[in-house]
Amino acid sequence: MLGIIGCGWMGLRVARALKEDYVVRATVTTAAKVDALSREGIEGTVVQFPENCMEAYDPAWEYAPLADCLLITVPFSSRTPEALLLNRFGNLLHFTGPFHKQVFLTSSIGIYPRIAAEIEEEGLNDALLDPSILSVERLVKRYYPQVNILRLGGLMGDDRILSKYKITGLAEPVNHVHYKDVCRVIKCMMHEGVTGATYNVVAPLHPSKEEVVGSQRGLPGPFEAVSAGRVISSEKLVRELNFVFSYPDPRFFHL
């Protein structure tokens, strides 16, 4: 059984990708989302994790002890105050309770500073990392030392294409990932029994925003060269898992 905590946009796509191989149980925030999951053949439970208290969550999730793997896809970012995030995730961890099998936390490359450099998982001083995102990662790791932390790039695919959004800095490189590759990474790591890993999950090619938008709109170019900017490396993921991206180039995610 796969338990998905916070089955939103990404969690739903993971559930769809894995439901043929695993019984999937998920938590969502509204009854309407339970109905939507039910139409996918997935049982959902309505849960909202409070941000203003930190106490044992009652009742604990009945499916957690039965699961072979937990996937935590509750969104978090620096836009939410750190204290509220820690309360939210503290309540979440009370809800899931002790668990000694595989755990995944979908984090974000938002943890990294916006500097013109190639950035890997290790090598930066913690003082340069976003404190809110880092605090959540550390909290989950204290509770579940075996957690796999996946720092996702900008999630794209299906209804998410860059040209739909208001963007600036057109010459800057993108750090995007197609959701299908995220699903494949999770499936691969589950199959291999990987624990305690931290990976950047970002497509290996980094064209400019202008190139991506131009491709999506069918514009002929030429486009200006990519300027210096932040490039998030997925080399560790590729090397350690022997992973090959199905969607390596964000210019063609929409095809």
Answer whether the bond into residue 220 is a cis peptide, omega within 30°.
no
Q: Is the pLDDT of residue 58 over 70?
A: no
Residue type at position 234? S
Please report, as a single letter, which amino acid is at residue 91: N
Q: What is the C-alpha to C-alpha distance for residues 56 and 49, in angstroms, rounded to an integer?
A: 11
Residue type present at position 210? E
CA–CA separation, 78 and 182 (whole Å): 22
Q: Is the pLDDT of residue 127 over 70?
A: yes
Which amino acid makes up residue 89? F
187, pLDDT greater than 80: yes
- For residue 54, the model assigns a pLDDT of 61
**Spatial separation of the C-alpha atoms in residues 43 and 209, rounded to whole Å:** 39
Residue 57: pLDDT over 80: no
What is the model's pLDDT at position 98? 94
Instruction: Report the distance separating Cα 171 and Cα 51, nearest Å.
Output: 38
Give residue 51's pLDDT: 76
What does each C-alpha distance from 75 to 86, 223, 227 come to in angstroms? 12, 34, 30
Residues composing the chain: 255
Average pLDDT over residues 29-42: 93
What are the respective helix, strand and coil percentages of the chain, to the nearest 5? Answer: 35, 20, 45
| CA atoms of 130 and 133, how far apart (whole Å) | 6
How confident is the model at residue 56, as a pLDDT? 58
- Domains of the chain (ranges, CATH numbers): 2-161+177-204 (3.40.50.720)
Give the model's pLDDT for residue 78: 83
Q: Distance from CA of residue 53 to its chain's centroid? A: 25
pLDDT value at 22 more than 90: yes
The radius of gyration of the chain from alpha carbons, rounded to an integer in Å, stands at 18
Query: Which residue has tokens 């579940």?
Result: 144
**Amino acid 221: pLDDT:** 81
Inter-helix orientation angle 82-96/131-143, to 10°: 20
193 three-state secondary structure? coil
Pairing outcome for strands 24-28 and 102-108:
unpaired
Mean pLDDT (the chain) is 94
Q: Is the pLDDT of residue 188 over 70?
A: yes
> What is the model's pLDDT at position 235?
98
Of the candidates 134, 190, 231, 207, the residue with the CA atom closest to the CA atom of residue 2: 190
Least confident of 5-9, 33-37, 51-55: 51-55
Instruction: Output the pLDDT for position 52.
Output: 73
Amino acid identity of 98?
P
Mean pLDDT along residues 34-56:
85
Can you tell me the mean pLDDT for 6-13?
A: 95
State the pTM of this model: 0.95
Selection from 87, 84, 82 nearest residue 131 by Cα: 82
pLDDT of residue 37: 94
Q: What is the pLDDT of residue 55?
A: 61
What mean pLDDT is predicted for residues 115-131?
A: 96
Q: Residue range 53-72: average pLDDT?
A: 83
Rounded percentage of the chain residues whose pLDDT exceeds 90: 85
Estimate the crossing angle of helix 9-18 against helix 179-192, to 10 degrees: 50
Helix or strand holding residue 171 (H, E): none
Residue 179 confidence (pLDDT): 98
